[in-house]
Amino acid sequence: MINKAIRILEKEVKSITDEILLAEVKQHSDKRRETKIAKLTASIAEKQADIAGFKKKLSDLPEKVSIVDILKGKPMSRSDLEKKKLYDLMQFMAYNSRERLVEFFRECYDDHRDVKQVLDMITRRSGYVKLVGQTLIVVLDWIKNQKHRQADERFCHLLNQKALTLTGRLSVKLAFYISRYPLHSTCLEEIPDHNQS
């Protein structure tokens, strides 16, 4: 969680730095622009202080926590052992599922620099589902960036070709689509397109 917070703050610092650079290249100088730059600079300083604090806290934590240390000599109960096995299984399944999706998505998105970031943006996007007969239709929200939208359309098409089904009691076919219109777009930040200036 701390590492995630650091990454988010570093991304915000980069975004604010870019905003300052854009403000500085404007030819006309006025008080509003100077005030804006001052506020943005102060915001960067605040976020950098937060990053430093998180990094210090991170350095005080062990890289891994041993289950033996947590138990402190007590025997692990059957319940604890089952919970740990279930947690390990969930982590294993989640990791392998994501890596499998990354393999599929590489066929749809050619910029290797941010394949995982763009995939995360797509899979965390809101939308809606509708059961039609024996098919569960998943419609993902509109994506403003054309390159990412086209990659998502190819990705949905590829998944649909594989005829995926939902396992369990509700055994239905899955069909993925992306909304053709920005009807219910969310405010999720999109990954910058490296090919655009």
pLDDT at 157: 92
Helices in 61-194 by DSSP H: which ranges?
67-71, 78-106, 115-123, 146-161
The answer to pTM > 0.75 is no
Domain count, the chain: 3
Same-domain check for residues 97 and 117: no
* Domain assignment present for 54: yes
CA separation for the pair 111, 118 (Å, rounded): 10
Question: Domain range holding 115?
Answer: 107-178
The tens digit of pLDDT for each residue in 47-65 reads 888 888 888 888 887 777 6
Whether residues 142 and 169 share a domain: the answer is yes
Q: Is 188 inside a domain boundary?
A: no
Indicate whether 79 and 122 sit together in one domain: no
Amino acid present at 60: D
One-letter amino acid of 85: K
Do 38 and 88 have their domain in common? no
CA dihedral 7, 10, 14, 20 (to 10 degrees): 150
The reply to whether 111 and 174 lie within a common domain is yes
SS3 164: coil
In this structure, of 20-24, 76-80, 168-172, the range with the lowest mean pLDDT score is 76-80
Q: Note whether 141 and 158 are same-domain residues.
A: yes
- CB 156: neighbour CB atoms within 10 A? 19
Do 114 and 164 belong to one domain?
Answer: yes
